[in-house]
């Protein structure tokens, strides 16, 4: 492996990163592919214009720099598998959001950083106030797509609804996610059934008590007393 010759003299282009990445995200990342993909997305999105800033799985799979970054000796998995695993890890961590759009017979997935603007954009897609064409326009012309006015060969678009993870629920209902709370949320997501978690967040919103401590108390009460005749399993885990 040739050594890096050093940064060139003079002004160098740069990519800004938020402090929260260094204080809350990077210390928790253990997989090098997840780290590489996350950093690449910071760089890639900074090159883009318009809003929201996002990238489709098609764009990422065709990215030669990303393909080079994820090369790893001794890893027999193909690039596509390594990329999807890294994206899913970042999404599970709450760093990325995704929106899926059915384009004719293909599901295309767009990835966003988990910011307020991105959450609003995805909410607009799910609620039908934003057209999925917006994402296609950001990606550019699609090979073979016929955009003629006569409607022949027009693209059939439909947003695929995904249930939010517990981190998204927290930020949608309570606010910015703190690192200490993130660990509690991860434990709760593993401990309780998903419909209980959704119901607890909904009950807290209805009572105008948008605090994790209140939601946690609801879940613990249901764990002890059961929820609507639905008992909690033995050994501290829900019987699925």
Confidence band (pLDDT; 50, 70, 90) for 202?
Answer: confident
Helix (H, G, I), strand (E, B) or coil at 230: strand
Q: For residue 154, is pLDDT > 90?
A: no
Greater confidence, 18 or 132? 18
Tens digit of each residue's pLDDT (9 = 90 or more) over 84-138: 989 988 887 889 988 888 877 788 899 999 888 888 888 888 778 888 887 766 6
Identify the CATH number of the domain defined by range 163-240: 1.10.10.630
The CB-side HSE value for 75 (13 A sphere, CA atoms) comes to: 15
Domain layout of the chain by residue ranges = 17-162, 163-240
The answer to whether 17-162 and 163-240 have equal CATH topology is: yes
Identify the CATH number of the domain defined by range 17-162: 1.10.10
Is the pTM of the predicted complex or chain greater than 0.85?
Answer: no
Mean pLDDT of 175-190: 80
Report residue 211: phi and psi, to 5°: -135, 140
Residue 192 Cα distances to 30, 171, 179, 214, 220, angstroms: 25, 19, 20, 15, 9
The per-residue pLDDT of the chain, averaged, comes to 82
- What is the model's pLDDT at position 100? 86
Cα–Cα dist 7/133, whole Å: 40
Q: For residue 14, is pLDDT > 70?
A: yes
Tens digit of each residue's pLDDT (9 = 90 or more) over 49-75: 877 899 999 999 999 999 999 988 777
């Amino acid at each position: 492996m040739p050594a890096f010759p050093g940064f060139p003299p003079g002004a160098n282009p740069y990519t800004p990163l938020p402090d929260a990445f260094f204080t809350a995200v990077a210390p928790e990342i253990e997989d090098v592919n997840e780290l590489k993909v996350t950093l690449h997305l910071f760089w890639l999105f900074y090159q883009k214009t318009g809003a929201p800033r996002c990238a489709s799985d098609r764009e990422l799979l065709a990215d030669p720099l990303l393909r080079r970054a994820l090369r790893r000796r001794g890893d027999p998995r193909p690039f596509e598998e390594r990329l999807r695993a890294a994206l899913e890890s970042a999404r599970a961590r709450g760093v990325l959001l995704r929106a899926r759009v059915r384009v004719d017979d293909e599901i295309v997935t767009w990835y966003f950083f988990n910011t307020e603007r991105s959450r609003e954009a995805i909410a607009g897609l799910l609620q039908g106030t934003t057209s999925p064409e917006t994402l296609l326009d950001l990606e550019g012309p699609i090979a073979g797509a016929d955009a003629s006015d006569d409607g022949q060969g027009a693209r059939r678009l439909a947003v695929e609804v995904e249930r939010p993870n517990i981190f998204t629920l927290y930020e949608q209902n309570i606010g910015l996610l703190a690192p200490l709370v993130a660990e509690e949320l991860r434990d709760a997501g593993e401990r309780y059934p998903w419909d209980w978690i959704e119901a607890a967040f909904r009950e807290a919103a209805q009572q105008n008590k948008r605090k994790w401590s209140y939601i946690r108390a609801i879940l613990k009460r249901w764990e002890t007393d059961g929820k609507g005749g639905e008992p909690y399993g033995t050994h501290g885990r829900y019987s699925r």
